[in-house]
Amino acid sequence: MIKLNNIKGLHFGFSMLFVMIGMVCKGQNPIIQTKYTADPAPMVYHDTVFLYTSHDEDDSPPGQGKFLMRNWLCYTSTDMVNWTDHGEVASLKNFKWADKAITGWGGFDNGAWAPQVIERNGKFYMYCPVQGRGIGVLVADNPYGPFKDPIGSPLIGAKYDSIDPTVFVNDDGQAYLYWGNPNLWYVKLNKDMISLAGEITKDSSVAKRAGQPDPFHYQEGPWAYKRNGHYYMAYASTCCPEGIGYAMSKSPLGPWEYKGYVMKPNKLSTGNHPGIIDYKGKSYVFGFNFRLNFMETTQHHERRSVCVAEITYNADGTITEQPWWQEEGIAPNGSLNPFTRNEAETIAWEKGLKTAKDSLKGMYVTAVDNNDYIKVRGVQFKKAAKSFEVSIAAASSGGTIEIHLDSLEGKLLGSCSVVATGGWNKWVTKSCKIQQLKGLHDIYFVFKGADGQLFNIDWWKFK
Ligand code: FUB
């Protein structure tokens, strides 16, 4: 669960609340708990789901619309329930032009809104709204970055309702960029994906017309894709709260026909923002809720958390409406191999932890206190595991990693004591015997020790 280290006065009270909530709350939605994430943009590349998100800062102020967003994050999964944190992959600082003095738009300190990444010919293109300043594009040679701005200016200027880009390449190779709040806009892209191939146009079919019915209730957050010959435009619909609506068409440029809700709005969440994929024979919609925020405080902050639900399509291509984000989340679509090195920041659910990145180790888990834990789901022990190996660093006197089976209070397979290693970045590999274990299980790593930070964890594996 999120630790509000940077809001010192509130930290102790909320930590106590976490302990109480953590005892009863074992949900899988939202899917990321170490940070606040919003505006999910999933991309399937080879056998992996790359989930790019925007990032609400832990110290965003109270109040609706008070966003504090500086960078974009990336998570990956091969089973849809355990997500590996890759941290920041791009930030406002990637766009030199974001710093131009535009009164009220926060320079590099605010405005990193809803992105989308797409692969084309081995390059990865990230379309990023820089709130109030336009939509930029970044390019990288791999999905983790580093991403660079190839044009040094906005791809779409600020005057076109320029937020929430979604990009899609049709079977004939033509790429389309769509975006906008309160209108839906589009433009064709050249094959280079970083220049425009036509006029910027306001879509007329979903546009609101004075005095006319508005079946679409289009708000923002479009997500364009093609599936089985049908073109789809999902979007955050109705306001506020926002649900997820969708329209279909026979062409990438419409006219769009409203088809209904993927998910009806719910007063639990003012906003929403769809990202839709097919993965390993199933289909999924991502969006967000405010569950973690409201687990910590009754006050609304723009501290959102990405959620996922499975969706199904009917024979005519329409989508079966889903209930609001279920706390229990979705079933695993794959399993985790415990006999290879697993990054500690691969997490289905956790309590009390944060992740950090450095040049020596990359990402690792930190802020580990007594009773914090990590749950990983669907761990497949194809052979008997007899021991557990973990890479840890501890400037303090350390603590213990308890390994529990299938629940927090489940069978104790082993306890691994961690002693001081001489620094938070002095890493050692510790090996511990465990009771023999086979089969498919959820594993809970429960951390025990004295008050204060116990250790950092980089990776683990069973043997
Ligand atoms: O995250 C900032 C803005 O909030 C997004 O651009 C919108 O889609 C809404 O989610």
Any atom of ligand 1 within 6 Å of the Cβ of 287: no
| 31 in Cβ contact with 275 (< 8 Å) | no
For 324-365, the pLDDT digits (tens) are 999 999 999 999 999 999 999 999 999 999 999 999 899 999
> Would the CA dihedral through 274, 205, 186, 208 be positive or negative?
negative
Ligand 1 atom showing the smallest separation from residue 288 Cα: 10
Tokens for 319?
């989508």
Same domain for 192 and 72 = yes
Separation CA 350–CA 442 (nearest Å): 13
For 376-417, the pLDDT digits (tens) are 999 999 999 999 999 999 998 889 999 999 999 999 999 999
Phi, then psi, of 19 in degrees rounded to 5: -60, -45
Question: Where among 311, 332, 363 does a domain terminate?
Answer: 311
Q: Identify the three-state secondary structure at position 18.
A: helix
> Which pLDDT does position 452 carry in this prediction?
95
Pairing of strands 346-347, 349-351: unpaired
**CA separation, residue 408 to residues 163, 200, 326 (Å):** 42, 54, 21
Instruction: Decide if pLDDT at 131 tops 50.
Output: yes
Pocket-testing residue among 53, 54, 92, 178, ligand 1, by greatest number of atoms within 8 A of Cβ = 54
Nearest CA to ligand 1 atom 3: 113
For 177-217, the pLDDT digits (tens) are 999 999 999 999 999 999 999 999 999 998 888 888 888 99
Please give the tally of structural domains in the chain. 2
Any atom of ligand 1 within 6 Å of the Cβ of 273: yes
**CA separation, residue 317 to residues 29, 223, 282 (Å):** 27, 16, 14
For 269-326, the pLDDT digits (tens) are 899 999 999 999 999 999 999 999 999 999 999 999 999 999 999 999 999 999 999 9
- Cα 162 to ligand 1 centre (Å): 11
Pocket-testing residue among 37, 39, 60, 133, ligand 1, by greatest number of atoms within 8 A of Cβ = 39
Question: Where among 259, 294, 311 does a domain terminate?
Answer: 311
Any atom of ligand 1 within 6 Å of the Cβ of 40: no
- Cα 309 to ligand 1 centre (Å): 19
| 361 in Cβ contact with 421 (< 8 Å) | no
Same domain for 409 and 288 = no
Same domain for 363 and 275 = no
Enclosing domain of residue 299: 16-311
- Cα 183 to ligand 1 centre (Å): 14
Domain assignment present for 6: no
Q: Identify the three-state secondary structure at position 217.
A: coil
Any atom of ligand 1 within 6 Å of the Cβ of 305: no
Domain assignment present for 321: no
Distant-in-sequence, close-in-space partners of 9: CB < 8 Å, separation ≥ 6: none
> Which pLDDT does position 212 carry in this prediction?
87
Same domain for 25 and 167 = yes
| 448 in Cβ contact with 370 (< 8 Å) | yes
- Cα 370 to ligand 1 centre (Å): 36
Pocket-testing residue among 273, 302, 304, ligand 1, by greatest number of atoms within 8 A of Cβ = 273
Distance spanning both ends of the chain, measured CA to CA: 29
Whose CA is closest to 51, among 27, 81, 28?
81
Ligand 1 atom showing the smallest separation from residue 131 Cα: 6
Place of tokens 């501290």: 303
Any atom of ligand 1 within 6 Å of the Cβ of 220: yes
Same domain for 239 and 91 = yes
Nearest CA to ligand 1 atom 2: 113
